[in-house]
Amino acid sequence: MFGDLKLTSDSPIYRQISHYIRDLIESGALRKGVRLPSTRELSHILKVSRNTVILAYQELQDDSLIENIHGQGAYVSAARAREGRKPVFDWPRRINDYGRKAWELNQTATAWQWRQGMIPFNSLAPDESIFEIEEIKRAFLNRIALEGEKLLNYGDAQGYRPLIEYLKHYLEDKGVDFQGKDLLITSGFTESFSLVMAALTNPGDRVICENPTHNLALDIMKLSGLQVNGVPMREDGIDPDELERALAQPGVKLGFIMPSYHNPTGLVMAPEKRLKVLELFGKYQVPLVEEGFNEELRHSGAHVSPLIALAGSGNGVVCLGSFSKILFPGIRIGWIGGDARLIAYLERIKFYRNIYTSLLDQAVLYEYLQNGRFQQYLKRAKKLYREKYEQALALARQYIPCRRVWGDGGLHLLIELDGIDARQLLADCCADGVLFTPGDIFYTDGSGAGSLRLSVSRVDRWEMEQGFAIIGEAIRRIKNGTGVSDDVGIHQNARPGQ
């Protein structure tokens, strides 16, 4: 830095040194508290006399830019930036169309923010009370002891091989034929879906999905510039006749379906309808992306095979999976299963985006899964969420006037209101400390204003009853035209034992 100074005969040498150091300080290159070279060191660097450097430092000290500390040396005492040399950018004006669209979509989805003490029917996060913290600690320590140096280094873009093999066996037990197929580890559903959209679609392409559908998937499709064609849902899932009409349209590039615990309806597609859906996508030669949302939480009836299993040796289904909703969403791990040639392309796209998913997280998850604790945890989770779902269903019918309650189980209900705008209802409920998700964010065609999703994974029975009662009371106030309440509800009802 100091060796870059080129001295000339145009002005006194000490002043050239002083001005050079001043510029470094005022530009921010030398920050407050930085120690300067001693006068002897700097005179040697610049090949000038020590007295010349002393004069330069004295001038800087007189201007309060540096200070001499006895026995320690000279330190920068101020960092006064020149206003004219520090450009200030208006970053919002520089954001591109993609960034603006992402901002707008997020604002629409999160218009009301959670505050301390509110009942969060808007959160699909799992119940933290059943997290096996000690088992995760043990898994972490075991893996670090076995291959710590490897886990702290770079990993493979496809994923941690032991976890890939575990997941393959896990999916084979569900009937998936991995002949000619492979897996890619990702950082959860969002990355999985984004990678598939990036590889298989271009802006302007037409994509078919259920209407309503997963709001995050819908936002990603909109951000990708796709034409989203939503097919209506019936009480047993997607309408096959409407699906065929949609598939028969020109330019359909891809389909996206959630056959198990569909978000937001909570429906589980029957086996015969799954086969019909596969038949239709095969007939029109359109690849199908399947999301296994909460597939493990089925607590009534027999196991229903995922679409990729029902497809057998065919390669037209791409399966996106994750344990986020039943295990630990803080460990951001998901996977994509599909044709091995497609997985190879997706791996390259992932590499150029983030190289690989955290190797340490993958290894810890693998250790936890392979030690046998997962099945025991799953039994407890199923029991807990079955009880919560049954309580929610009974309480919704008791407290919330509505046209229909959707759902076959899982972590949420979809409520269809009768002539009530859900966003107006949400504004009223927020005043009483209750949050839920307005249903319109799940619909592809701008409809759904009269619906709302109630997630019950993170609330207990008391919160559920209080919250549903507040929602029901707000509905009655709106129908009667009496407006927003004055902070009644949970704020005036103490939890039992308090």
Distances (CA, A) of 242 to 78, 215, 247, 250: 71, 21, 9, 15
Pairwise CA distance, residues 51 & 56, whole Å:
9
447 secondary structure, DSSP code: -
The verdict on 367 and 385 lying in the same domain is no
Would 266 be classed as within a structural domain? yes
Q: How many domains does the chain have?
A: 3
What's the angle, vertex CA 299, arms to CA 294 and CA 305, rounded to 5?
Answer: 60
Would 38 be classed as within a structural domain? yes
Sign of CA dihedral 137, 140, 146, 149: negative
Domain boundary among 27, 57, 84: 84
Percentage, residues of the chain above pLDDT 70: 92
Per-residue pLDDT for the chain (498 aa), expressed as one digit of tens each? Answer: 888 898 998 899 999 999 999 988 888 888 888 999 999 999 999 999 999 999 999 999 998 899 988 889 999 986 554 544 567 889 999 999 999 999 998 876 666 777 888 999 999 889 999 999 999 999 999 999 999 999 999 999 999 999 999 999 999 999 999 999 999 999 999 999 999 999 999 999 999 999 999 999 999 999 999 999 999 999 889 999 999 999 999 999 999 999 998 999 999 999 999 999 999 999 999 999 999 866 776 666 567 899 999 999 999 999 999 988 788 888 899 999 999 999 999 999 999 999 999 999 999 999 999 988 888 898 898 899 999 999 999 999 999 999 999 988 888 999 999 999 999 999 999 999 999 999 999 999 999 999 999 999 999 999 999 999 999 999 999 999 865 444 433 333 444 443
Would 240 be classed as within a structural domain? yes
Pairwise CA distance, residues 385 & 392, whole Å:
10
Pairwise CA distance, residues 56 & 447, whole Å:
73
Would 320 be classed as within a structural domain? yes
Would 113 be classed as within a structural domain? no
Per-residue DSSP letters for 34-74? PBPPPHHHHHHHHT--HHHHHHHHHHHHHTTSEEEETTTEE
Q: Which residues are bridge partners to 186 per DSSP?
A: 334
For residue 383, what are the domain limits? 119-124+378-489
Task: Give 9-52 pLDDT, tens digit per residue.
Answer: 889 999 999 999 998 888 888 888 899 999 999 999 999 999 99
Sign of CA dihedral 15, 19, 25, 26: positive
| CATH number assigned to the domain comprising residue 17 | 1.10.10.10
Structure tokens at 221: 């499709």
Would 91 be classed as within a structural domain? no
* Amino acid residing at 283: K
The verdict on 15 and 41 lying in the same domain is yes
Q: For 466-491, b where at least 16 C-beta lie within 10 A, e where not — what string?
A: bbbbbbbbbbeebeeeeeeeeeebbe
Structure tokens at 450: 């009269």
| CATH number assigned to the domain comprising residue 302 | 3.40.640.10
* Amino acid residing at 214: H
Q: Which H or E run includes 288?
A: strand 288-291
At what angle are helices 161-172 and 359-370 packed, to 10 degrees? 40
Per-residue DSSP letters for 214-246? -HHHHHHHHHTT-EEEEEEEETTEE-HHHHHHH
